[in-house]
Amino acid sequence: EAGVAQSPRYKIIEKRQSVAFWCNPISGHATLYWYQQILGQGPKLLIQFQNNGVVDDSQLPKDRFSAERLKGVDSTLKIQPAKLEDSAVYLCASSSWGGQNTGELFFGEGSRLTVL
Amino acid sequence: AQTVTQSQPEMSVQEAETVTLSCTYDTSENNYYLFWYKQPPSRQMILVIRQEAYKQQNATENRFSVNFQKAAKSFSLKISDSQLGDTAMYFCAFRYNFNKFYFGSGTKLNVKP
């Protein structure tokens, strides 16, 4: 079974530029999450999708961050314009519940963003 | 609001020894799940162990076991026979209600040869 795929793995941009991250969850997983992980801290939820609907985006800085999950499969997280404090690893995760699925999170390898 | 607290930012253990990582949480929910995740340096976060709150028996996965104290809202992870490959950040996580997860701030574990 293929895992959660993310790209790019690394991105370096200057402040005020834009960047986009892509995530493809495990096949059949209805729930998709984007987390921001600043060095030395735990993951912070940015947005949670259930199929193609948003469940929680209360901590998403909507003036600069946007995310979509068209057709309820893969997802894109965009930052425009980027700030220095956006430097972090952006983790995508997916989960499923029911049957043999036990609701745990499966993470991708993350996309490391450096804003100069 | 749900909160997860890991009070040990960093710990060290000698190879082959046993170490316990602490986690406490605060919730008014009765049905929930607790997890320990491992994040090796520059590598993917993976699940170590899972505990359902309705189960009284503590979960065990090979060298990893938990001490789940529901009344005290405590969920510690014990690693026996520590190995160099156990060096990583460990995150305690809490899940309830429609797949909402909350993470602690993590404990950095260093296993020394």
Give strand pairing partners of A103: none
Out of B35, B99, B104, the one facing A97 most closely (by C-beta) is B99
Residue B22, pLDDT above cutoff 60: yes
The tens digit of pLDDT for each residue in A38-74 reads 988 889 999 999 988 999 999 999 999 999 998 889 9
List pLDDT tens digits, range B49-86: 999 988 889 999 999 999 999 999 999 999 999 999 99
Residue range B90-101, pLDDT digits in tens: 999 998 876 788
Q: How far is A97 from chain B (nearest CA, A)?
A: 9
Q: Which of A38, A36, A95 is nearest to B33 (CA)?
A: A95
Contacts of B46 in chain A (CB under 8 A): 107
Chain B residues with CB under 8 Å of A109 CB are 43-44
User: pLDDT by residue (tens digit) across A66-107?
Assistant: 999 988 899 999 999 999 999 999 999 999 876 555 678 999
SS3 breakdown of chain B: % helix, strand, coil, rounded to 5?
5, 55, 45
Instruction: Give CA separation, B6 vs A16, A30, A43, in Å.
Output: 35, 30, 13
With a CB cutoff of 8 Å and minimum separation 6, the contacts of A59 are A44, A45, A46
Q: Do the chains contact at B101 and A105, CB–CB below 8 Å? A: yes
Assign B47 to helix, strand or coil. Answer: strand
Share of chain B above pLDDT 70, in %: 99
Residue A114 in this model has a pLDDT that exceeds 90: yes
The alpha-carbon gap from A41 to the nearest alpha carbon of chain B, in Å, equals 5
Strands A111-115, A88-95: pairing is antiparallel
Count CA within 13 A, CB hemisphere, residue A72.
10
Strands (E), A14-64: 19-24, 31-37, 44-50, 53-56
Q: Hey, is the C-beta of B78 within 8 angstroms of any chain A C-beta?
A: no
Residue matched to tokens 């605060």: B26
Cβ–Cβ contact A25 with B under 8 A: no
Say if the Cβ atoms of A43 and B46 lie within 8 Å.
Answer: no
- Please report which helix (H) or strand (E) contains residue B24, including its range: strand B24-26
pLDDT the model gives residue A71: 85
B54 to chain A, closest Cα gap in Å: 14
> How many residues in chain A?
116
**A57 touches B at CB < 8 Å:** no
For the segment A16-26, what is each residue's pLDDT rounded down to a tens digit?
Answer: 999 999 999 99
